Amino acid sequence: MNGSGVRVGILGASGQVGREFLKVLSKRDQLPLSELTLLASARSAGSVMEFRGKRLTVQEVTEKSFAGLDIVLASAGGAVSKQWGPIAAQQGCVFIDNSSAFRMEKDVPLIVPEVNGHALKNHKNLIANPNCSTAQLVVVLKILHELAGLKRVIVSTYQSVSGAGKEGVDELANQTKALVVDQSYPPKKFQKQIAFNLIPHIDSFADDGYTKEELKVINETRKILELPDLLVTCTAVRVPVMIGHSEVVTVDLERTVSPAQVRESLANSPIVEVWDQPENNIYPTPLDCAGEDPVYVGRIRRDTSSPNGMNLWVVADNLRIGAALNAVRIAEYMVKHNLVGQKV
């Protein structure tokens, strides 16, 4: 860092999450930015993007890209992160990665700052941002754990197509347009037709019948909450929604608490909003959360099948808390706690 602020790079700036980084950074002032460098592949090098009224030119990422940067916010996929993350880290640059490349590595902190910011201590310049479904889930689980002790978690996700990148968004839009005028539009990005349908298959299948997306949610939740033996299971489903992941979360708690106590604890969090007045049709939907920062929770009620069980409906913008916003919050936390600029 130099005296005037933090030099930040966005790797994957031309992508969906990259664009969201620009939006998030332009609205927040907690990160004292002195320079912003936009990086992508040769495909978008030379294109121009706007940031706070200035025109910035996207550059092709090379070995020399990291020398003058303090922090890189990376969202260019796992292979690109594996190629450049260690090089950036070695050059003293903090590499905050949105891909799954390093999440489960022992030496790589997997962070949602409001949940486990303390785990950034002793970092080695490589930091992982969790899977989008995990990020919104752990914010709620951490609060429930502090309130009444978590025993078991069952989560079913309803994940929007933007979680599959720009190609996913284009496929839903184009397929919907084609089908309403009776034209065919075979699936390319998704395994099956996504328009007017839903698909219980995200990422590839592992040998035990779970998808890798489901295993990410299970393993990352345990790592972030520092509860390696937590009983947790997941079913992940892709739904024809553009932005916003929703989750049905059922928890078994150690102690008996009322829905009112759960509402109160969640409402005390600065990053959670409780929308839970079913009598007035008040509960969150993905359309409500798109472009917004909070994790929204509604439909809080006892699980009728278990004495200390509770059901919740959790909705958030997957491009924000699930990606760009969380990574920017990690950067802010690291700057605030003097964790940037360390040699490894």
Q: Which residues bind ligand NAP (CB under 6 A)?
A: 12-18, 40-41, 43-44, 61, 75-78, 80, 98-99, 132, 162-163, 165-166, 318-319, 322-323
3-state secondary structure of 123: coil
In this structure, are residues 138 and 298 in contact, taking their beta carbons and an 8 Å threshold? no
User: Tokens standing for 215?
Assistant: 């295993």
Residue type, 24: V
In the β-sheet with 309-316, what is the strand arrangement from edge to edge? 231-238, 150-159, 245-253, 309-316, 295-302, 272-274
Whether 289 is a known active-site residue: answer no
| Cβ closest to ligand NAP, residue 9 vs residue 15 | 15
Give min distance, CB of 292 to ligand NAP, in A.
15
CA distance 6 to 331: 10
CA distance 77 to 196: 28
3-state secondary structure of 89: helix
What H or E segment, with its residue span, contains residue 247?
strand 245-253
Residue number with the smallest Cβ distance to ligand NAP: 15
Whether 93 is a known active-site residue: answer no
Query: Among 145, 234, 245, 289, which one carries the catalytic annotation?
Result: 245
Give min distance, CB of 45 to ligand NAP, in A.
7
Backbone φ, ψ for residue 28 (5° rounding): -110, 145
| Cβ closest to ligand NAP, residue 20 vs residue 276 | 20
Give min distance, CB of 119 to ligand NAP, in A.
19
| Per-residue CA distances from 62 to 87, 93, 189 (Å) | 10, 14, 29
| Cβ closest to ligand NAP, residue 80 vs residue 234 | 80
Give min distance, CB of 130 to ligand NAP, in A.
8
Best CA proximity match to 137, nearest among 69, 204, 48, 236: 236
Query: Among 93, 123, 132, 234, which one carries the catalytic annotation?
Result: 132
Which residues belong to the active site?
132, 245
